[in-house]
Amino acid sequence: MSPKLTSATPPTGPRPPKIRLFSRSSWPQARHLADVLRTETVGGALLLSGALIALIWANSPWSDSYARLGDVVPWPGAPWHLDLDLATWAADGLLAIFFFVVGLELKREFVAGDLRDPRRAVVPVVAALGGMLLPALIYVAVVLSGGGEGLRGWAVPTATDIAFALAVLAVVSSHLPQGLRAFLLTLAVVDDLFAITIIAIFYTADFHPVPLLAALAPIALFAVLVQRGRTWWWALIPLAIAAWTLMHASGVHATVAGVLLGFTVPVLARRPRSGDQPATANAEAGEGGLAARLEHLWRPVSAGFAVPIFALFAAGVTLRGTDLGALLSDPIVIAIVAALVFGKSIGIFGSTYLLARFTRAELDDDITWADLLGIALLAGVGFTVSLLIGDLAFGAGSTADDRVKAAVLLGSVISAGLAATVLSRRNAAYRRVAERERLDADGDGVPDVYQHPDAR
């Protein structure tokens, strides 16, 4: 007679597999990631160069010429509120290219990348949320304790600058495992999505619904053309300009138009090869889709031109004659630095640790918690979107805006230094992992670890 089952008897049957945090993605995804990181690393070096030139110029004997350059209005009296100075054109116009690329990357991640798989998506999404909520709370707490002036800038320390972060990695020669690099990029992409949402909801002034509704027409026409595979530059670029112009006239930040246009572009190739596994087919189709081609075309323009020019106009904070003691004791400065350095790192590390603690998740064999701490510290490098939100919150050129710029630069440098210290200690281990991820013993063009994941 078989024994009776009681409530204390453990259930039989296979247990669900554990979630592997920061494991390698597919080979097509890894190849796409490598291309993106190469472009962004070069762009990060150019961004840092633009910021450095701005700082030197703004604090040189020729600082007046720097201020005058940003105030130049190339088209005075232009309709549709387009009589903007060069600094505003850099923030509203050139950054629309940056956000168009962000829209393409977001669409790709949701359709053919890591975010299409809920088991892989939950980690960067939870980490991004933790890395935005805690910095915002720290900022609000510090500013309130200092009198409450400057609460409008609560979102400044919530964004991560992937180009700046990758430039730091290039400097320390860190060969991060592919799983960590994928996590960092996906985290930054999700971070950008939340930042765009914050800008659209909380930093929209003088809202005008009619131009916003009118902007839907060129966006819809753009979508029809790209969905049918029509890449006529003479049609798509005017439609994009029209959408940007109408979005700007509506009071919603014009860069949102770039994101919406990016979302309309199809990711999957129209006819994926038959016989492939669904996940592989999706990833490879994502490589050959229109979104990948447009991203390949426009990402160098964004990383190599648009973002560095924005940095040239945005990072020039003048410190000559400034009381550094008063600056460093300013509640806004303290709040941003503390939020970037501590809020970002604790928010990302803590939320990921709790996710692993309360689910069936464990780190990949090549990864340690110290590696995650280094990535979490690196995410405290906030620049492009942080400076943009500072402009929107306090007004470009205002006293508070100058303090925001100084704080963002200081917090980013501290975060970068701490991240470099933590990650460089593991460089020898990273090199061994990188060598294994490049090994192709059978010479078929695909590294062996992507064909045999259990090979160590």
Position 380 confidence tier, pLDDT thresholds 50, 70, 90: very high
Listed ranges 13-22, 313-322, 343-352, 358-367; the one with the highest mean pLDDT: 343-352
Please determine, for residue 35, whether its predicted confidence score (pLDDT) is greater than 60. yes
Q: Which two tokens stand for residue 395?
A: 């007004």
Residue 281: the pLDDT is 41
Give CA–CA dist 93/95, Å, rounded. Answer: 6
- Say which amino acid occupies 234: W
Please determine, for residue 198, whether its predicted confidence score (pLDDT) is greater than 50. yes
Residue 345: the pLDDT is 95
Please determine, for residue 409, whether its predicted confidence score (pLDDT) is greater than 60. yes
Residue 283: the pLDDT is 44
Average pLDDT value for the chain: 83
Please determine, for residue 156, whether its predicted confidence score (pLDDT) is greater than 90. yes
Listed ranges 43-47, 163-167, 346-350; the one with the highest mean pLDDT: 346-350
Contact 64, 232 (CB under 8 A): no
Segment 265-302, tens digit of pLDDT:
998 876 554 444 444 444 444 455 888 889 889 999 99
Q: Which of 298, 295, 315, 302 is nearest to 387 (CA)?
A: 315
Residue 397: the pLDDT is 75
Give CA–CA dist 260/244, Å, rounded. Answer: 10
Residue listed under structure tokens 């906030």: 382
Segment 76-128, tens digit of pLDDT:
766 767 788 899 899 889 999 999 998 898 888 888 877 787 777 888 889 99
Buried b (16+ CB within 10 A) or exposed e, 104-122: bbbbbbbbbbbbbeeebbb
What is the average pLDDT across 30-42?
77
In the DSSP assignment, the letter for residue 156 is G
Segment 62-71, tens digit of pLDDT:
989 998 998 9
Q: Alpha carbon of 80 to those of 72, 182, 244, 248: distances in Å?
A: 18, 41, 11, 8
